[in-house]
């Protein structure tokens, strides 16, 4: 077998494969640290050589294949390095976001939900309600009266109080949708 002959035939290529395959795989494995990946790199390099053998006049096939393997290993390692960097950046971003969320929650004071601006927003939203609905809502949520107490004071049935509470809640949901924490507090407390 003349390995410098660019007209290498299938028999010579099979001999080359048999003689060098394991060495090539061990070399690639040394760098990529993954046997399947090393095997793939070697097979790609040998396939590339076989498919382009007629253009590779005067090359030493084992040296050419070895160089191809080296370059494929470098590409593989650079790709891993890039993905590791991106992964680390994503983890840093996730950690930063988590830290912000924790500090925001730790700094959250429910009493501050009713700051002057929030009170104005609620008052404005309540002012859009019909008088009876607004009065029922205020008595229930701010004065903390029961449905029966409200019904008694306003001369209406408990079902009527429920109706007005539902009407107020739906209206406030629409009006205050951008202020979800406040809305949740108003509806469920």
How far apart are alpha carbons 62 and 19 in whole angstroms?
A: 10
Q: Which of 44, 34, 52, 50 is nearest to 69 (CA)?
A: 44
Q: Which of 13, 42, 50 is nearest to 26 (CA)?
A: 42
How far apart are alpha carbons 29 and 8 in whole angstroms?
A: 27
Q: Are 41 and 32 in contact (CB under 8 A)?
A: yes
pLDDT at 185: 59
Q: Which of 138, 108, 111, 140 is nearest to 125 (CA)?
A: 138
How far apart are alpha carbons 114 and 77 in whole angstroms?
A: 56
pLDDT at 7: 53
pLDDT at 32: 96
**What DSSP character marks residue 109?**
-
Domains (range + CATH), the chain = 10-104 (1.10.1740), 110-188 (1.10.10.10)
Q: What is the mean pLDDT of each run of 10 residues along the chain (189 residues)?
A: 57 92 97 96 96 87 96 97 94 89 77 66 84 92 90 93 91 74 57
Q: Are 39 and 97 in contact (CB under 8 A)?
A: no
pLDDT at 99: 85
How far apart are alpha carbons 182 and 172 in whole angstroms?
A: 10
């Amino acid at each position: 077998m003349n390995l410098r002959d660019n007209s290498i035939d299938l028999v010579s290529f099979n001999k080359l494969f048999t003689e060098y395959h394991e060495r090539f795989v061990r070399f690639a494995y040394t760098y990529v640290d993954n046997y399947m990946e090393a095997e793939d790199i070697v097979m790609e390099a040998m396939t590339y050589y076989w498919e382009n053998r007629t253009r590779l006049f005067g090359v030493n096939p084992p040296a050419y294949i070895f160089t191809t393997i080296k370059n494929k290993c470098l590409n593989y390692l650079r790709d891993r390095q890039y993905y590791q960097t991106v992964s680390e950046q994503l983890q840093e971003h996730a950690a930063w976001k988590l830290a912000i969320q924790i500090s925001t929650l730790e700094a959250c004071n429910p009493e501050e939900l009713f700051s002057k601006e929030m009170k104005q927003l609620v008052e404005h939203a309540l002012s859009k309600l019909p008088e009876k609905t607004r009065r029922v809502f205020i008595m229930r949520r701010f004065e903390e009266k029961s449905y029966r107490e409200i019904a008694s004071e306003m001369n209406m049935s408990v079902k009527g109080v429920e109706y007005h509470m539902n009407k107020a809640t739906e209206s406030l949901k629409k009006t205050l949708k951008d202020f979800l924490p406040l809305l949740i507090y108003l509806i469920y407390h």
